[in-house]
Chain A
Amino acid sequence: DAKTTQPNSMESNEEEPVHLPCNHSTISGTDYIHWYRQLPSQGPEYVIHGLTSNVNNRMASLAIAEDRKSSTLILHRATLRDAAVYYCIRRPNNAGNMLTFGGGTRLMVKP
């Protein structure tokens, strides 16, 4: 039970921002939110993670709702290379390195 809900697919235009939503309404206080993405024919790769505050890194930004029941992964300027399946993962603090993947969101980027 992944305990996160994401849209099956989304479409974006190249060089435009993309907002990928994730619902995790049953999240507990110590659960982290992680995002991984899987490019075609590759293994998943880490994108970003956070607990309560919004987070930024070179790949993306993560906006976490104040009640922590939802979050949004933001790609500031989508490129064709960003076409992938994006997984939002709720990770309990005591889960070690185990990741529970759901179905993810398939992002398609149009030129």
Chain B
Amino acid sequence: ETGVTQSPTHLIKTRGQQVTLRCSSQSGHNTVSWYQQALGQGPQFIFQYYREEENGRGNFPPRFSGLQFPNYSSELNVNALELDDSALYLCASSLGRSGSSYNEQFFGPGTRLTVL
């Protein structure tokens, strides 16, 4: 069984650029969530995708967007990068329907984004 993988591991961008981060879910999982973790803080929920549709979003602006593909892998896109977007971006996969009882989430190792 393959765990959650993310790419790239590290990325450096400049302010104003756009970035795409990728996540492969654990085998059989149909739900993907993205989190942002600033240095020294706990992860903050960005949004969740279930069967290719966004269903649940945290307090993040529209320049944070995502996609989930038929194989349940996912992308996080961030436009017009700002310095405060520098963080570890975590992807988590799980099996379950949105809004239903909780299913354990399996996190990837994250992508470290630095915005200069």
Supposing A41-B109, A43-B90, A44-B107 touch, asked if A96 and B43 sit within 8 A by C-beta, the answer is no
Check if A99 sits within 8 Å of B4, measured CB to CB: no
In the complex, B8 has a CB within 8 A of chain A: no
DSSP class of B's interface residues: helix, strand, loop or mixed? Answer: loop
Using Cβ atoms and an 8 Å threshold, which residues of chain A touch B56? Answer: 96-98
- Chain B proximity of A107: nearest CB distance (Å): 15
Question: Which of A10-18, A65-73, A75-83, A86-94 touches B?
Answer: A86-94
User: Which chain A residue lies CB-closest to B58?
Assistant: A98
A102 touches B42 (CB 8 A): yes
A96-B56, A97-B96 given; A43·B45 CB < 8 A? no
Contact A94 B102 (CB under 8 A): no
Residues of chain B within 8 A of A34, CB atoms compared: 102
Task: Find chain A residues with CB under 8 A from B45 CB.
Answer: 98-100
The contact of B104 among A46, A94, A101, by CB within 8 Å, is A46
Contact B100 A96 (CB under 8 A): yes
Closest to B98 in A: A96
> Which residues on B are within 8 Å of A, measured CB to CB?
4, 31, 33, 35, 41-45, 48, 55-56, 58, 90, 92, 94, 96, 98-110
